[in-house]
Amino acid sequence: MSLFYLVAFLSILFSLLVIFTKNPVHSVLYLIATFFTFTIHYILLNAQFLAVVNFIVYMGAIMVLFLFVLMLMNLNKDTEPVKSNLIKIIGVIAGGALLVTLVGASKALQTSAVSAGPNSEIGLVENLGKVLFNEFLLPFELSSLLLLSALVGAILLARKDKKTQNG
Amino acid sequence: MDNITATIQVVPLNHYILLSAIIFTIGVIGVLIRRNAIIIFMSVELMLNAVNLLLTAFSAYSGDASGQVFVFFIMALAAAEVAVGLAIIVMVYRNTNSIDINVLNRLKW
């Protein structure tokens, strides 16, 4: 039980560091740590398939992509844009208001109906695979189409177009 | 593994809701107060992850596997979104030599 609270504290700490660190590279590294704590959360919930997918997709693919783009741009410290303090204070107040609203709404929610206790078997690969390939077969195939179109779109956007570049 | 399962049963579902709300709010604040486009993008990723964690917790507590399948689809969508978004950011950087989003303020009109 106390492990959950320790990991939750670490998630909140690292995600705060993500948005308040000046250097973007440090920000990406803290984001990796945040995703690692999320992986531990998934293991604690006994969602083993999601833990592995989170580890591979987020910490492997997406973070490498972020770091690669950051290194490509070689940002100097003085090009780091700084917002005025007034905007920052207004942003934090607006976020706090959102948090109060969300927590208040969840207090009003009756969660006793679903607190039957976690089923430890559904997060395993076998059960998820059965659900994924029976009920969700069409969305699964459509998501492959989505990934293909994203691949083509990313290459099309990121490459230099020689025909339209007139000097 | 029984040890881990016993661990979950003690943590109330409300605490997962609270944790996800806090992390989602941190993501919103990050979008509001930063001007670096990449950090704004990372804040969006934080928000997506908070939603993922909450969906997984609901799914595990109510014994329905559909929630975890949905999280899997959200992860595939996030990967596609990151690829296209970072390509757009690289394009913006190549054209304006900056990733300050205030350079793009003409998009507002």
Asked if residues B29 and A17 have their Cβ atoms less than 8 Å apart, the reply is no
Would you place residue B42 in the very low, low, confident or very high pLDDT band (cuts 50, 70, 90)?
Answer: very high
Mean pLDDT across chain B, nearest whole number?
85
* pLDDT (0 to 100) of residue A88: 87
**Residue among A65, A118, A123 whose CB faces B83 most closely:** A65
Does residue A121 surpass a pLDDT of 50?
yes
CA A4 to chain centre: 19
Does residue A34 surpass a pLDDT of 80?
yes
B9 vs A100 pLDDT, higher one: A100
* pLDDT (0 to 100) of residue A142: 93
Q: Pull the structure tokens for residue B51.
A: 């939603």
**Residue among A24, A43, A57 whose CB faces B75 most closely:** A57
Report ipTM for this prediction.
0.86
Dist. CA B48–CA B46, nearest whole Å: 5
Nearest C-alpha in A relative to B5: A120
Q: Pull the structure tokens for residue B52.
A: 């993922």
Contact B25 A44 (CB under 8 A): no
Question: What burial letters (b/e) apply to B1-10, b meaning 16+ CB within 10 Å?
Answer: eeeebebbee
- B contacts of A12 (beta carbons < 8 Å): 19, 22-23, 26
Dist. CA A67–CA B41, nearest whole Å: 13
Mapping DSSP onto H, E and C, the string for A73-140 reads: HCCCHHHCCCCCHHHHHHHHHHHHHHHHHHHHHHHHCCHHHCCCCCCCCCCCHHHHHHHHHHCCHHHH
Asked if residues B69 and B57 have their Cβ atoms less than 8 Å apart, the reply is no
Asked if residues B52 and A118 have their Cβ atoms less than 8 Å apart, the reply is no
- CB contacts < 8 Å between A and B, how many? 246
Q: Which of B62, B81, B89 to mutate to test the interface with A (most CBs of A within 10 A)?
A: B62
B101 vs B32 pLDDT, higher one: B32
Which of the listed CATH numbers 1.10.10.10, 1.10.287.3510, 3.40.50.970, 3.40.50.20 matches domain B2-101?
A: 1.10.287.3510
B10 vs B63 pLDDT, higher one: B63
Query: B12: left (phi > 0), else alpha (psi -120 to 50), else beta?
Result: beta
Does residue A161 surpass a pLDDT of 70?
no
Of B82, B78, B54, give the one whose Cα is nearest residue B68: B54
Burial of B19 (0-12, 13-18, 19+ CB in 10 A): buried
Dist. CA B2–CA A85, nearest whole Å: 50
Contact B45 A31 (CB under 8 A): yes
Identity at A68, one-letter amino acid code: F
How close is the nearest chain A Cα to the Cα of B47, in Å?
10
A75 vs B48 pLDDT, higher one: B48
Does residue A167 surpass a pLDDT of 50?
no
* pLDDT (0 to 100) of residue B96: 82
Dist. CA A84–CA A126, nearest whole Å: 52
Domain boundaries, chain B: 2-101
Contact B79 A87 (CB under 8 A): no
Does residue B83 surpass a pLDDT of 80?
yes
Dist. CA A18–CA B28, nearest whole Å: 12
* Count of C-beta atoms within a 10 Å radius of residue A60: 12
